[in-house]
Structure 1
Amino acid sequence: MELKEIYDQVSKRYGSVAKSSTGHYEQAIAKAFGYTEEELAGVPEGANLGLSCGNPVALARLREGETVIDLGSGAGFDVFTAAKRVGLTGKAIGVDMNKNMIDKANANKAHTTASNVLFIESAITSIALPDSTADCIISNCVINLVPAVEKQLAFNEIFRLLKPGGRVAISDILARKEFTEEMKKNISLYVGCVAGASQVSEYDAFLKNAGFNGILVADSKNDLNVYRTAAEDKPSTSGIDAIREEQDALFCCSAETRKTCCKLDEKESCCGTKTSTCACQTRTSSMGDEAKTMASRLDIRDLNEWAGSFHVYAVKPTTI
């Protein structure tokens, strides 16, 4: 896959995710990867988009007064959690390349009193912040989305932004064995945080090449199949949602494509047009959708056989 194609597809997919969330799936995913009820209750509604593969805030051991940067901050889930840990004397900065995500995060911020939170629209390989800005940098299931040829740039940027003695705490999906060529070329699996996953040895090398010490890359042993099972366990819709889904099928889609049809609202007919027919759009996908893709198209029933959720921790030396 070409570099531009990867970034375009990742941006398109996550820009779409930023516009919707249902609650049940997102909560189930967060709990499966270590978030507590208290943490979930402490973030604005809509901040949790069900995109986690771990809890880097728990790994980071943040302290009062620290500055923390979240790479690939999405709607602000980990930023708002981190902001509570560092307190008003600290600062929590979210960085995301997707404008829809930044807009969503700022909208969520408007519903809080979090004066120590800032969101920046930027690629995580080059961020307009000074050297030695942060005491800690976190990231949650995002670095695997950076194309292989630019992954080292992301780790170099992390190193640059950390203060001497600063630490990086990452939750990410890493490969347990070499992917097939078919898997590597599947863009759906790539944007689903699977096909772009590095090997453990590669991750270790990225950190060492950037200059880090005290490197720990540990398998969390969490079950990646939760992405699929959580989607399957989602409660059925009722009331107005059920009516709209019937309208989607009637006015938008054939039987083969109705599952990807867009939602109606009270003011407009399907896809934002004023007509009774329209071209179907691709509905927001979740990591559960990508897990199903692996199962159905590539005959891969157990995600854990191929990849895992890993905790990654490293320290920037105090002297270089």
Structure 2
Amino acid sequence: GETVVDLGCGAGFDVFNVANKVGASGRAIGVDMNKDMIFKARDLAAKSGKSNVEFVQTQITNIALDSGIADCIISNCVINLVPEEEKQLVFNEMFRLLKPGGRVAISDILAKKPLPARIRSNIALYVGCVAGASQVAEYERYLSAAGFKDTLITDSGSDLKFSTYLDVLNQDKREMDSCRSHSGTNGCSSCCGSLSQLENEDLNEWVASFKIYAIKAL
């Protein structure tokens, strides 16, 4: 019978999983800024016939939901995409939405140590949830500043398969460069960032998938 809010829900797959767990007396609410994703999620909800799901188009830095409605807030690899100067707002919103005793249970890519400029400035790695990663200590400060008292941040220990991700990006870049060379336009090096300098980089050395838990005090 709990109410769970998913920040950055996309097409709502995690929301539908939660809806099954909270049952008919609970609510699963997905929020996302992308109207196309929300449209798709609502379409899937209509086809599923589930009455305990809801999708709201809104920024996660200023969520269009009432305060104190959530028992739990979840999110999967989304907060690292928020600009650094706005991340505190996301944690403030989590705290606002939660009931006393409410829980945060999110997954995100965090930096193990300060990221070098070659990674921070790479647009392809930003989209890939790497370049915008905060350090663990920064996450702890965000949670504390928002008002959370009991926090736990743990490395999941999983291999993030960045070599496969870079291989795909390089293949896409080669295909785009080939097409544009025939049309007389420039390649995509400016938008994809310099991938060649990352070919021998083990990104697992710099970032990892972390589980973040916190509780709003009673």
Instruction: Give TM-score, length-normalised by structure 2.
Output: 0.86
What secondary structure sits across from 1:222 in the alignment?
A: coil
- Structure 2 partner of 1:7: none
Please name the residue that 1:305 is paired with. Answer: 205
Q: Which residue of 2 aligns with 1:137?
A: 73
Q: Point out 4+ residue stretches in structure 1 off by more than 4 angstroms.
A: 229-232
User: What's 1:45 paired with?
Assistant: none
**Bigger CA drift: 117-126 or 173-182?**
173-182
Match of 2:22 in 1: 86
Q: Quick one: which amino acid aligns to residue 80 of structure 1?
A: F
Task: Give TM-score scaled by structure 1 length.
Answer: 0.59
Alignment match, 1:176: 112
**CA deviation vs aligned residue, 1:148-189 (integer Å, no higher than 9, x gap):** 000000000000000000000000000112111122122221
Partners of 1:126 and 1:300 lie apart in 2 by 40
1:166 to 72, 77, 102: 102
* Residue 110 of structure 1 pairs with residue 66 of structure 2: no
Name the residue aligned to 2:172: none
Q: Aligned partners of 1:175, 1:294: CA distance in 2, in Å?
A: 20
Report the secondary structure of 1:111's partner residue.
helix
Aligned length: 205
- 1:257 paired with 2:193, answer no
**What 5-or-longer segments of structure 1 have no aligned partner?**
1-64, 233-252, 259-276, 283-289
Structure 2: distance between partners of 1:72 and 1:305? 27
Sequence identity of aligned pairs in percent? 57
- Unaligned regions of 5+ residues in structure 2, if any? 169-174
Shift of the 257–103 alpha-carbon distance from structure 1 to 2, 3 Å rule, reads same
1:295 and 1:301 in contact (8 A); partners too: no
Distance in 1, Cα, partners of 2:176 & 2:78: 35
Contact 1:294 1:301 (C-alpha < 8 Å) held by counterparts: no
Partner amino acid for 1:83?
A
CA shift in 2, pair 1:122/1:227, >3 Å = farther
Backbone CA RMSD of aligned residues? 2.5
Q: Residues 101 and 315 of structure 1: is their aligned pair in 2 closer, same or farther, counting only changes over 3 Å?
A: same
The residue type equivalent to 1:206 in the other structure is Y
Q: Distance in 1 between matches of 2:5 and 2:166?
A: 29
- Deviation, structure 1 residue 295: 6.0
